[in-house]
A and B are shown apart, each in its own frame.
Chain A
Amino acid sequence: MAKGTLYNKVWNHNRVTELPTGQTQVFIGLHLIHEVTSPQAFDMLREKGLKVAYPDRTFATVDHIVPTLSQARPFADGQAEAMLQAIERNTQEFGVKFFDFASGQQGVVHIVGPELGLTQPGMTIACGDSHTATHGAFGALAFGIGTSQVRDVLAGQCLAMDPMKVRRVEINGRLASGVTPKDVALFIIHKLGVKGGIGFVYEYAGEVFEAMSMEGRMTVCNMSVEGGARAGYCNPDATTFAYLQGRKYSPQGAAWNAAVEKWKSFVSDGDAEYDDSIRFDAADIEPRVTWGITPGQSVGISEALPNPGQYEDVGERASAELAYRHMQWTPGQKIQGIKIDVAFIGSCTNGRIEDLRAAAKIAQGRKVAPGIQAFIVPGSLPVRKQAMEEGLDKIFLAAGFSWRAPGCSMCLAINPDQLVGKQISASSSNRNFIGRQGSQTGRTLLMSPAMVAAAAITGHVTDVRSFKEKEI
């Protein structure tokens, strides 16, 4: 059992009581909802005659079903329109703040929360979405929940939970040029496996994370769940506080200093005890690309695809064999040079301003290869606005990328952005599961935004380090 970690402190701070089952009743400080996993929860409240207990602690936006080309109402997809109408109706009826298009704040839920300063250190945060782990970047304990649990949080602001174990994942040294937080995330998942994190919260520590921006920390924490860990976090520090200062829902004035002092108290103690710990060296990380059907099946850009026979575990071997049947590659072939059809930059993993800047540095003055469908989906309306103020949209448009409006887009493809047939996408999103991008025979290669931009320009998987970044 871990002791003295941020996880322990946040858990204890928000522990209400022990339930008769032995589970812990945990208070949820911030609840985020979106249109896809909340309508059934509101229906359950109505059926039970319940209200939202703390409506000022739930915030809504719309992201999964949003068309990124035009948000003109009604949406062409009747089901999508019905979902949007349901969240409009539910938030109004139950008194929940809804960041819709007109608010200027709409976007992917895990980008909106931090951007508004709603996400703060020491909080427990829940959302009906597995990538809620993103918010751990701020030193919050944040995790995805199902719809019946959304109902519970709406009804009483609490969840019934069992304690988790804590694994410290420490990476020291400096990331080489061209190596990004996305590569760090793919490296960790590759090393620890997609089931390695089951039962754990990951604490990300060491020089690499200390030097990382909040955007980068969010990328890594976001993908904790792809490694089986329901949550991941970084200890809050000066970088965290600088990000939060002055945001709409951040404490202001005298309350700011008091909040920072409080937030510092959640940081893991120097002599904290962990259930497990592991160290890596930043020098061992190069740009990575997934080749298979789980986020753990990735290789460094200079590497060749593995032979399924090298996996000792029968389950992992079978998973690799299925991956080869689906992806139609040959063991031993190089990842570099694999031709792509679609390039997608966006999502809660990599749809923030830094991601767009990194891609723009590659796109600047270059052209998307003929026949490649390349598009940029900013994570939120504020990200989109900021990118346009910096002129990034013009760089992308001149290069032949399509410049879209915020939404989840082709990360999960329950909107018009979908792969067709056996198309191969270079994608800055988080999951390469079979069928994930809207075609049951479609193929997804996960990589960093800069790597996606490089693939868009050459038409095939390319080492971004062979590109000279241009000033923008």
Chain B
Amino acid sequence: MSRITQSSRIIQVTGRAVPVPGDDIDTDRILPARYMKELTFANLGQYPFQDERFHSDGAPKRHPFNEAHYQGASMLFGNANFGCGSSREQAPQALTRWGIRAIVAESFGEIFSGNCLTLGVPVVTASQADMAALQNIARKNPGADFNLDLASMTINGGGLLVKISMPASRRKAMMEGAWDSTGLLLANADKVAGMLAARAAA
């Protein structure tokens, strides 16, 4: 919970990356719905991609999250429409609690990317060709370190430097440590009350 209440400045994320290729990887695939029956987010780090990683009898499948050399990765490289579908914050919670601190993809489901913002996880986009190149490096050299830098809006690693994008307001929220929206919004509580009073009087 501490990671939600604190609002630290996030300018760089560094570390190894796990490639999760495929368009339209929905939040049901990221976190199967049955884990939403847990009353807290505490255990979700055990379950990201659970049904893509394990058969129903528990036997492992081939999946990047199962591979030893991607354990400890701090970035995820996806493709188009990553995190589409259900609004469940449990999906990014599962990824962050597994260790993911930034996600780079061609595009994102919008509720998913908004949820990542509220958790202080930068989600940034890169072109289809650049994502293919980034995934290729992470696949061939799983030990490669990457540096995602919101100041220069680049990601750098394995001999490749790629431009990344994100909405200006989200970038600012990350870089200034203003992604804990509750405090920002409550600071204007009197404006909300004033707006409602004006409506009632109209």
Contact B115 A148, beta carbon cutoff 8 Å: yes
What residue in chain A is nearest B55 (Cβ atoms)? A440
- What's the least CB distance linking B97 to chain A, in Å? 13
Residues of B with C-beta under 8 A to A413: 33
- Give, as a whole number of angstroms, the nearest-CB distance from B41 to chain A: 6
Q: Which stretch (A36-44, A267-275, A338-346, A354-362) binds chain B? A: A36-44
The stretch of B133-141, B145-153, B156-164, B189-197 that contacts the partner chain = B189-197
Q: Do B188 and A16 have beta carbons less than 8 Å apart?
A: yes
**Whole-angstrom distance between the Cβ of B172 and the nearest chain A Cβ:** 5
- Decide yes or no whether A25 CB sits under 8 A from chain B: yes
Chain B residues with Cβ under 8 A from A64's Cβ?
36
Instruction: Establish whether residues B192 and A156, one from each chain, have CB atoms under 8 Å apart when the complex forms.
Output: yes
Quick check: A294 and B51 within 8 Å, CB to CB? Answer: no
Contact string against B for A residues 313-336, beta-carbon threshold 8 Å, 1 for contact and 0 otherwise? 011101100100000000000000
Q: CB distance A146 to B172 under 8 Å?
A: no
Q: Complex Cα distance A65/B35, Å?
A: 12
Measured between beta carbons, the chain B residues less than 8 angstroms from A145 are 87, 111, 114
User: Judging by beta carbons under 8 Å apart, are A40 and B185 in contact?
Assistant: no
User: B114 — which chain A residues lie within 8 A by C-beta?
Assistant: 145-146, 149
In the complex, the chain B residue whose C-beta lies closest to that of A53 is: B189
Shortest Cβ distance from residue B134 to the other chain A in the assembled complex, whole angstroms:
15
Interface residue count on the B side (C-beta < 8 Å): 63
Q: What distance in Å separates the Cβ of B164 from its nearest Cβ neighbour in chain A? A: 17
A38→B106 CA distance, assembly (Å): 30
Contact, CB under 8 Å: B80 / A195: yes
A155 close to B185 (CB less than 8 A): yes
Residue of B nearest to A231 (CB): B110
**Chain A residues within 8 Å of B88, by CB:** 37, 146
Known: A145-B114, A156-B189. A130 touches B87 (CB 8 A): yes
Q: What B residues does A23 contact at CB under 8 A?
A: 169, 173
Given contacts A22-B168, A22-B172, A414-B33, contact A195 B39 (CB under 8 A): no
A228 interfacial contact with B, CB 8 Å: yes
Stretch at the interface among A371-379, A388-396, A428-436: A428-436
Asked if B37 and A83 make an inter-chain contact with CB atoms under 8 angstroms apart, the answer reads yes
Stretch at the interface among A2-10, A157-165, A242-250, A453-461: A157-165
Instruction: Indicate whether A58 reaches chain B with its CB closer than 8 angstroms.
Output: no
Chain B residues closer than 8 Å to A322, beta-carbon distance: 22
B48 CB to nearest chain A CB (Å):
14
List of A residues within 8 angstroms of B195 by Cβ: 16, 27
| B118 & A149 in contact (Cβ 8 Å cutoff) | yes
Given A21-B173, A145-B111, A198-B107, the answer on whether A152 and B37 have CB atoms closer than 8 Å is no
Q: How many residues of A contact B (CB 8 A)?
A: 75
How near does chain B come to A247, taking the closest CB pair, in angstroms? 21
Out of A47, A53, A228, A439, name the residue touching B81 (CB < 8 Å). A228
A294 with B87: CB separation less than 8 A: no
B32 within 8 A of A: yes
Q: Which of A26-67 contact B (CB under 8 A)?
A: 27, 36-37, 39-40, 43-44, 47-48, 50, 53, 64-65
**Is B46's CB within 8 Å of the partner chain A?**
no
Determine whether the beta carbon of A155 is less than 8 Å from that of B182.
Answer: yes
Interface string of A80-101 (1 = CB under 8 A from B): 1011001000000000000000
B86 interfacial by beta-carbon distance below 8 Å: yes
With A16-B195, A431-B85 as known contacts, state yes or no: A162 contacts B118, CB within 8 Å.
Answer: no
Chain A residues within an 8 Å CB radius of B62: none
Distance of B173 from chain A, by nearest CB (Å): 4
Do A20 and B178 touch across chains, with their CB atoms under 8 A apart? Answer: yes
Q: Check: A178 CB closer than 8 A to any chain B CB.
A: no
Measured between C-beta atoms, what is the minimum distance from A461 to chain B in Å?
23
Q: Which residues of A lie under 8 Å from residue B182 when comparing CB positions?
A: 48, 50, 151-152, 155-156
Which residues of chain A come closer than 8 Å to B80, judged between CB atoms? 195, 315
CB distance from B4 to the nearest CB of A (A): 7
Q: What does the 1/0 interface line of A401-444 toward B look like (CB < 8 Å)?
A: 00000000000111000000000000000010111101111000
Across the A-B interface, the 7 shortest Cβ-Cβ residue pairs: A146-B89, A146-B115, A315-B23, A144-B87, A148-B118, A22-B169, A79-B37
Sample (15) of A-B pairs whose CB atoms are under 8 Å apart = A21-B169, A27-B196, A37-B36, A48-B182, A50-B182, A129-B86, A148-B4, A148-B181, A158-B188, A158-B192, A194-B84, A414-B36, A433-B28, A433-B29, A439-B56
Residues of A within 8 A of B (CB): 16-17, 19-23, 25, 27, 36-37, 39-40, 43-44, 47-48, 50, 53, 64-65, 77, 79-80, 82-83, 86, 128-130, 132, 143-149, 151-152, 155-160, 162, 194-195, 198-199, 225-226, 228, 230, 293-294, 314-316, 318-319, 322, 412-414, 431, 433-436, 438-441
